[in-house]
Amino acid sequence: MTSLPTPAERAGGKSLALLIDLDTCVGCHACAVNCKEWNTGGRFGPLSDRDAYGARPEGAWLNRVHAFETGEEEAGRTVYFPKNCYHCEQAPCVTVCPTGASYKRAEDGIVLVEEELCMGCGLCAWACPYGAREMDPLAQVMRKCTLCIDRIYNEELEEVDRVPACVLTCPAGARHFGDFADPASEVSRLVRERGGYAVMEEMGTAPTARYLPPRVRPRETLAAVEAPEPTDTPGRFLAWVDRLLSG
């Protein structure tokens, strides 16, 4: 059913999504690669590519890492911006679906596609302002981030592994996963403390996922760090080599 769950149905339900720390993300793309890896081999796989080993490979990915520059001169910085589904509370991709393939779960807020029902019209991808949905080039059905639903509830896995693949793999610890409806959760605490925000809210999507902004470094701290002087006083061993060779 592509009607969104009613507030009564959502009452008491979780709001699972990702929290991404833009201050610590180093733009290594490991999250995107592990996302592809898990989702091409997991329950929803394969997540296909066309011309995978050719000159112009192209395929469906559920997580993409963009790189932006912001600010000017000393205040300027590079910010890596991983982007995947925000599991919106008012997901426009769900309500436009004509076949019933797209739906939002009442119990945890995850937005999913039932691929056996998808006719591949692509309207949901048009409706998403964020570009979170991509058509699988071979299966011709819509793909999107499932929040690794086949990991997070998977009792075959160790409890420590029951998190989305992107979160598990992030070497910088920039990705968090949790329940935004629970004020006591780690993600809710981080959002409160660090000013977590959602993007393009004017689209009326009410995204669940949040970003933590890059921390602002005051100019004084930046100026206080003096560039190290080049040194030409070698250590004892190098000084001996230097003398030997100069002789």
Partner 1 sequence: MHPALSIILFTTSSGAGYGLLFLLGLGGAAGLLPTSRGFGLAAFALALGFVTFGLVSSAFHLGHPERAWRAFSQWRSSWLSREAVAAVATYLPALLLALGWTVAGDLSGPWRLVALLTALGAATTVFCTAMIYRSLRAVPRWHSPWTVPGYLLLALITGGVWLLFLLYLFGETPPTPLLHGMPSAVIAAWFVQTAAWRRADRAAPVTTVESATGLGPPGSVRLLDPPHSEANYLLREMAFRIGRRHAAKLRRVTVVSTFALPLAIGLILPFVNRLTALPASLLAALSMSLGVVVERWLFFAEARHTVTLYYGARAV
Interface residues toward partner 1, by CB under 8 A: 1-4, 22, 32, 56-61, 64-72, 78-79, 81, 83, 92, 94-101, 117-123, 125-131, 134-135, 137, 139-141, 197-204, 211, 213-214
Within 10 angstroms of residue 120's Cβ, the number of other Cβ atoms is 13
Q: Which ranges of 45-148 does DSSP label H, i.e. alpha helix?
A: 92-95, 123-127
Burial environment of residue 209 by CB neighbours within 10 A (0 to 12, 13 to 18, 19 or more): buried
Sheet arrangement for strand 175-179: 175-179, 16-21, 210-212
Q: How far is the CB of 138 from partner 1 (least distance, A)?
A: 10
Residues 181, 143, 130, 148, CA torsion sign: positive
**Complex with partner 1: residue 38 or 61, whichever CB lies closer:** 61
Distance (Å, whole) CA 104 – CA 113: 9
Q: How far is the CB of 196 from partner 1 (least distance, A)?
A: 10
**Complex with partner 1: residue 69 or 226, whichever CB lies closer:** 69
Q: How far is the CB of 201 from partner 1 (least distance, A)?
A: 8
**Complex with partner 1: residue 168 or 198, whichever CB lies closer:** 198
**Complex with partner 1: residue 81 or 106, whichever CB lies closer:** 81
Residues in contact with 166: Cβ distance below 8 Å, sequence separation at least 6, in sequence order = 18, 31, 32, 34, 35, 63, 82, 84, 148, 175
**Complex with partner 1: residue 96 or 168, whichever CB lies closer:** 96
SS3 of 130-160: CCCCEECCCCCCEECCCCCHHHHCCCCCCHH
**Complex with partner 1: residue 29 or 162, whichever CB lies closer:** 29
Q: How far is the CB of 39 from partner 1 (least distance, A)?
A: 15
Q: How far is the CB of 221 from partner 1 (least distance, A)?
A: 19
Distance (Å, whole) CA 54 – CA 192: 46
Q: How far is the CB of 230 from partner 1 (least distance, A)?
A: 30
